Amino acid sequence: MASDAMTGATSPTPSALRAVLPALLIFAVLALVPVVAPLLGGGTYPLTVAGRIMIFAIAAVSLDLILGYGGLVSFGHAAFIGLGAYAVGILTDAGLEEGLVLLPAAMLAAAVFAALTGAVSLKTRGVHYIMITLAFGQMAYFTMTSLSAYGGDDGLTLWSRPLVAGFDWLNDRSAFYYIVLLLLVAAWALCRAVTRSRFGRVLRGCREDEERMRALGYDPFAYRLAATVIAGAIAGLAGALLAIQAEFVSPAYMSWQRSGELIVMVVLGGIGSLHGAIVGAAAFLLAEELLSGVTEHWRLIFGPLLILVVLFLRGGLGGLLGKVRHD
């Protein structure tokens, strides 16, 4: 594994195209939603649901970077989403309305938190890592619930959506939708570039055989911390978009249950498959929409379905898009 990680060889062009084809198909389908939605009726509801799916797909892709490629099972990933959302909410409340400033600020806030907490949690492994990320996530959650100046447990309302270079594009549902789609494509492309680079090969090598990578002169801690910061920044972007879409920020965005749902999305779509993380997010949120209309205990139905996917679809739902190799 380590020797393969160091070769730096690139796949033939047809193979590379075959690998990205499922993602291109997903993006094409998402691009057609605003065109098809009016024909199906339901007003703006389909567009809102699809937009929410893409936002959580960004977060799921970021989690898959450290879970699927780094082997890091984080139960505090939702904290990055919440911090990104609160960065937008707090700065908007202070009078800042430029989206080109708010989105980078949200990513920076989440990245800094990822760097600080990652520097501690990455000193541990296995169950200890899971528990310490859970602890950091809950610390962030309870900190936000205690901030009465910003709504506390009741959350914070955004009274208007930010501008983009002075233009009011985010108030147009179709324009906002395509902006989110563009950012999803960018997040996927960035994570794919990272995983296909030497950095990504070393990260996978550290997951497979940490001691061997140390013997080759690589520092697993540094690579894992860098991956955690990248994943945190992308999740912060998802949180910022979630706040803008809902025009509301809540501590619930960073609860441990939300972190668990993100892990389920990645598992459902196929661990180590970036396009699978998008499929998993779509499957989870659509199942929630459909099954919650049947019963409030919809997870009792969804749980067995998830078990069947894990048992019988080794590559997850993402593997059904052509039986291609992982990203």
Mean pLDDT in residue range 206-213: 89
pLDDT greater at residue 155 or residue 314: 155
Binned at pLDDT 50, 70 and 90, residue 309 comes out as confident
How does pLDDT run across 84-119, given as a tens digit for each residue?
999 999 999 888 889 999 999 999 999 999 999 999
What pLDDT digit, counting tens, does each position of 35-76 carry?
Answer: 888 877 767 888 999 999 999 999 999 999 999 999 999 999
- pTM beyond 0.75: yes
Between 164 and 55, whose confidence is greater? 55
pLDDT at 89: 93
Q: What is the mean pLDDT of the chain?
A: 88
Q: DSSP 3-state assignment of 156?
A: strand
For residue 5, is it within any domain?
no
Among 87, 113, 68, 91, residue whose Cα is nearest residue 225: 113
Task: Assess if residue 50 is contained within a domain.
Answer: yes
For residue 282, how many C-alpha atoms fall within 13 Å in the half-sphere facing its CB? 19
* For residue 302, pLDDT beyond 90: no
In this structure, is residue 73 part of a structural domain? yes
Query: Given CA atoms 140, 146, 149, 153 in this order, what sign does their dihedral have?
Result: positive
Counted domains in the chain: 1
In sequence order, what E strands does the chain have? 156-157, 248-249
Look at residue 2 and tell me if it is in a domain. Answer: no
For position 78, what pLDDT does the model report?
A: 95
* Residue 304 belongs to a domain: no
Q: Assess whether pLDDT exceeds 80 at residue 2.
A: no
Q: Could you tell me if residue 327 is inside a domain? A: no
Q: How many residues does the chain have?
A: 327
Residue 28: which domain range? 14-255
Q: Do the domain assignments include residue 288?
A: no
- pLDDT tens-digit series, residues 186-202: 999 999 999 999 999 99
Burial of 42: CB neighbours in 10 Å, binned 0-12, 13-18, 19+: exposed
